[in-house]
Structure 1
Amino acid sequence: MKNPPAKPSQLITKEFARQLNVNYNNKRASLTAKKAEKEDANAIWYSLEELENYIHYIKTNGTKQGYNVDGIRFYFGVYPDDEKHGEKAGLTTLFLVPTGKKIEKNTEKIQSFALKQEATSADIQDLDPMNYGNIGRPPSLLY
Structure 2
Amino acid sequence: MKNPPAKPSQLITKEFARQLNVNYNNKKASLSAKREQKEDANAIWYSLEELENYIHYIKTNGAKDGYNVDGIRFYFGVYPDDEAHGEKAGLTTLFLVPTGKKAKSNTEQVQSFALMQEMSSDIQSLEPMNYGNIGRPPSLLY
Q: TM-score, normalised by structure 2?
A: 0.68
Q: Using the alignment, how far apart are the partners of 2:65 and 2:110 within structure 1?
A: 17
1:69-88 equivalence runs, <5 A: 69-88=69-88
Q: 1:105 touches 1:116 (CA, 8 Å); kept in 2? A: no
CA 1:116–1:127 in 2, change beyond 3 Å: closer, same or farther? farther
1:50-129 equivalence runs, <5 A: 50-105=50-105, 111=107, 119-129=118-128
Q: Using the alignment, how far apart are the partners of 2:37 and 2:140 within structure 1?
A: 18
Q: Which residue of structure 2 aligns with residue 138 of structure 1?
A: 137
Deviation of 1:105 (Å) = 3.9
CA 1:115–1:47 in 2, change beyond 3 Å: closer, same or farther? farther
Q: Using the alignment, how far apart are the partners of 2:58 and 2:138 within structure 1?
A: 34
Q: Using the alignment, how far apart are the partners of 1:82 and 1:41 within structure 2?
A: 17
Q: Which amino acid is 2:64 matched to?
A: K
Query: Any stretches of 5+ residues in structure 1 without a counterpart?
Result: 1-27
| Backbone CA RMSD of aligned residues | 2.5
Cα deviations by residue, 1:72-101 (Å, 9 ceiling, x for unpaired):
000010000010000000000000000000
Deviation of 1:35 (Å) = 3.6
Higher relative contact order (Cα pairs below 8 Å, separated by 6+ residues): 2
Residue 97 of structure 2 aligns to a residue whose secondary structure is strand
Give the % identical residues: 78
How many positions carry a matched residue from both structures?
109
Q: Using the alignment, how far apart are the partners of 1:123 and 1:115 within structure 2?
A: 23
Q: Using the alignment, how far apart are the partners of 2:108 and 2:133 within structure 1?
A: 49
Q: Which moved more, 1:34-43 or 1:124-133?
A: 34-43
Q: Using the alignment, how far apart are the partners of 1:51 and 1:45 within structure 2?
A: 10
Q: Using the alignment, how far apart are the partners of 1:72 and 1:104 within structure 2?
A: 20
Q: Which residue of structure 1 aligns with residue 16 of structure 2?
A: none
Q: Which moved more, 1:95-104 or 1:57-66?
A: 95-104
Q: Give the strand-richer structure, 1 or 2.
A: 1
